[in-house]
Amino acid sequence: MADPRSRPREFEWPTLALIVACHALWVVSTVWLAALWLPAGMAGLTLAVTLHSSLQHEVLHGHPFRSRALNEALVFLPVGLFYPYGRFRDLHLAHHRDETLTDPYDDPESNFLDPRVWAALPGWRRRLLRANNTLLGRMALGPALGIVKILMDDGQAILAGNRAIARDWALHLAGLVLVGLWIAWSGVPVWAYLVSAYLGMSVLKIRTYLEHRAHEDAPGRTVVVEDRGLLAFLFLNNNLHIVHHTKPGVPWYRLPAVYAAGREEFLRRNEGYLYPSYGAIFRRHLLRAKDPVPHPLRPGN
C-alpha cells in the first residue's frame, strides 16, 4: 500500500476562495456599506475582522498552499489592527503543545494564573480578572487585557534584544500603514474602524472562552461545541476543537466530516468535554464564571 504522505496534496480552493471573499467583505464594508449606513459598515467590518483572524489561524497551520511565504502573503494585511501575525503564529504554535495546555507559564494562551501569583495580586486586579472569567467579561475586557499584555511582554523582549519579535512588529507596522491609507481613502471614521476591530476580537473571545479546561489528562482539556451556525462558520469549525488539536493539518472545511466519522472516539478522548451549542454557553456562563483564575491543579490550591 502506498504511503499516504506520498499522495498529492489536495488543492484547498475553499480556503483560497474564503480569503478572497473575506477581503472583498472588508472592501465592501469600508467603501460602500459605511457610506450607505455607518452601522452596517461597522457590522460588516466586525465580521471581516473575525473571519480574517480565523483565516490567519488556518494559514499558520499550513493552508492553503505548501509555501509558508505565499500563505502568509494572503493574510498579510492587518485588518484586525491589534496583533502582529508573526506573534500570533509563534504563540499559537507554542500553545499546540498539548502536554502543557492551560499551564500558566508554558501555554501562552492560558487564562489561568499560578495560585501563588494570584495570592499576591492587589484586590482590584483580582476583581478585574474574575470579571474577565465570565463570558461577558471576556468579550468586553478580554481584548483590552490581551492587547496590554502583548504590548508589555513584547516591548520588554524587544528592549532585551529579541530581533525576531522586533521584526514581527516592524512588518505589522508596515501593514498598518497600508490599512491606514485605505481607511483614509475610504472615509470610514477612525473611531468606527477601531470599534469594529475591537468587536471582532470580542467575537473571537466567544470561541476561546472555554476551549480548554484544567484537567489531569492532556486530551481531556480540549472542548467540542457541536454548533453549526454563524459562529461556527466564522470560527472555521474550530468549535470542534479536540479534532483540530488531534489533527491540526486537517483544513477547516473537512473538520465536521472528520468529527462526525469519529465522534464517539473524540468524546472518549476528551472525556466528554462537550457543549451542544454556543447558545448553551451564553446561557450558562454569560454572567457566571466557568473556571477560577488560579489554576486548580497547580500547587497552592
What is the H or E stretch that residue 41 is in?
helix 38-60
* Interacting residues of 194 by C-beta distance below 8 A, sequence separation 6+: 81
What DSSP string describes 109-159? T---B-HHHHHHS-HHHHHHHHHHTSHHHHHHTHHHHHHHHHHHHHHHHHH
Quick check: 111 and 137 in contact, CB under 8 A?
A: no
DSSP summary character for residue 194? H
* Per-domain residue ranges of the chain: 10-209, 210-287
Quick check: 202 and 22 in contact, CB under 8 A?
A: no
DSSP summary character for residue 250? S
Query: Which candidate, 135, 150, 26, 16, places its Cα nearest to that of 78?
Result: 26
What does the pLDDT profile of the chain (301 residues) look like in tens digits?
A: 333 333 456 789 999 999 999 999 999 999 999 999 999 999 999 999 999 999 999 999 999 999 999 999 999 999 999 999 999 999 999 998 888 889 999 999 999 999 999 999 999 999 999 999 999 999 999 999 999 999 999 999 999 999 999 999 999 999 999 999 999 999 999 999 999 999 999 999 999 999 999 999 988 999 999 999 999 999 999 999 999 999 999 999 999 999 999 999 999 999 999 999 999 999 999 999 999 999 998 776 6
Q: Which is it for the CA torsion 31, 174, 17, 226, positive or negative? A: negative
> Is the entire prediction scored with pTM above 0.95?
no
Give Cα separations from 179 to 147, 172, 174 (angstroms). Answer: 19, 10, 9
Give the CA-trace dihedral at 112, 115, 118, 119, to 10 degrees. Answer: 170
Backbone angles phi, psi at 6, to 5 degrees: -85, -10
Query: Which candidate, 197, 184, 182, places its Cα nearest to that of 144?
Result: 197
